[in-house]
Amino acid sequence: MKIQNITIKDIAKALDLSYSTVSRALKGSYKISEPVRNKVIAYANEHNYRPNLLAQSLKNKNSRCIGVVLCNIPNSFFAEVISGIESVAYTKNYLVIITQSHESYEREIQALENLTWRSIDGLLISLSTETSDCSHIAALHAKGLPVVFFDRVSEDFKTHLVKADNEGGAYDLTNHLLHQGYRRIAQITSPAHLSITQERIAGYKKALSEAGQPIDESLIKYCEHGGMLFEEIETAVSELFDSGNPPDAIFAASDRLTLGTLSILKKMGKSIPGDIGMAGFSNFSEPELFEPALTTIKQPAFEMGKTAAELLIQLIESKRPVTEFEKKVFPTELKARASTNRKISVAY
């Protein structure tokens, strides 16, 4: 037995009206007389009428669904983003379909196919680490699908972008490290083709240059899978230490890389912040509980999700084609904690 709601036809029959009249009365069309409208609405409420969304979608050619593609849900940053998306979708009566790319280009394409098949009205996407070419997304966009990029964005085609101020965040963090007296600052980061990587490196280099510090490319370690493979982080860290000239601080450029690096440093028995300073981008909920309490750059993930969803729905519901696109850049927040505080353990 399936859950069967009352339909327009039932109301029409009960009230001896035509389908169209009932439909119009419920939609609040003005070409319906007061008494009839009231009668219909009263009956509908009383019998708990709910329009069948499937039928509406089929008829209207919209699904009131928005698709989301991101690398993986349990990642603190993305989980918060989802929560933000959901909060907007909920109030605007959209449904959210979340799919995970697991940092794979292949799976990102699959996810997109799946979503379009499901007839979504719009797409929110953060690229996988493997994705350097966006033609699969551009094709959908060209066919008229509203798209908003968030976090890992692309400028392959014009659309709204929602991102953190990665350059600013990296700049702030690098500056903080410099102020603490660190000089050989390494960055462990995602693949070079990603927007977030480029920006985080730009901010890092800017801070170094302004401080008159040399830029040593060998201190920048790219993890091709964004840290999905623990070994790639281990390799990065050991390369840094095995070089003749090891770093005195490490800046990790994402949540996964930050936790991975911290864990490896501790396993190596490094004293933080004494032997080496450690900080990173992270939306982990309680970094102050770590040993040592971790200096982080935090992105306003919930807000970013909210804004991305708002922009997308705006795009979906816009009557006229949108040609002016926004680039929303959210400030990041530096929280200095013990992991970069040399004064704790080093006299200098």
Note the residues at the interface with DNA (CB under 7 A). 4-5, 7-9, 16-21, 23-24, 26-27, 30-33, 35-37, 49-52, 55-56, 58-61
Q: Which does 31 bind (CB under 5 to 8 A by kind): DNA, its own copies, none?
A: DNA
Largest CA distance in the chain: 90
Which amino acid is present at 267? K
Q: Report how far residue 136's alpha carbon sits from residue 156's, in angstroms, rounded to the nearest whole number.
A: 11
**Which region among 68-76, 182-190, 221-229, 307-315 touches its own copies (by CB under 8 A)?**
68-76
Q: Which of 35, 74, 214, 244 binds its own copies (CB under 8 A)?
A: 74
**Residue whose structure tokens are 């350059």:** 167
Verify binding: residue 6, its own copies, rule CB under 8 A.
no
φ, ψ (nearest 5 deg) of residue 69: -120, 125
Which pair of structure tokens corresponds to residue 201? 């490196």
Q: Rounded to whole angstroms, how far apart are CA atoms 156 and 289?
A: 41
> Quick one: which of 46, 217, 242, 286 contacts its own copies (CB under 8 A)?
286
Q: In terms of CB distance, is 22 or 301 closer to DNA?
A: 22
Tell me the closest approach of the beta carbon of residue 22 to DNA, in angstroms: 7
344 binds its own copies (CB under 8 A): no
Least Cα distance to 290 among 250, 338, 233 occurs for 338
Six token digits for residue 187: 């960055």
Task: Kindly state whether residue 136 participates in binding its own copies, applying the rule CB under 8 A.
Answer: no
Specify the residue, 108 or 199, whose C-beta has the smaller distance to its own copies.
108
266 contacts its own copies (rule: CB under 8 A): yes
The reply to whether 99 sits near its own copies by the rule CB under 8 A is yes
Give me 111's structure tokens.
């996810």
Q: Which helix (H) or strand (E) holds 296?
A: strand 295-298
Q: Decide: is 27 part of the binding site for its own copies (CB under 8 A).
A: no
How many CA atoms lie less than 13 Å away from 221 in the CB half-sphere?
Answer: 26
- From the number of C-beta atoms within 10 Å of its C-beta (0-12, 13-18, 19+), residue 126 rates as buried
Chain contacts with its own copies (rule: CB under 8 A) = 1-3, 50, 52-55, 57-58, 61-63, 72-74, 76, 79-80, 82-83, 86, 90, 95-100, 114, 116-119, 140, 143-145, 259, 262-263, 266, 285-286, 288-293
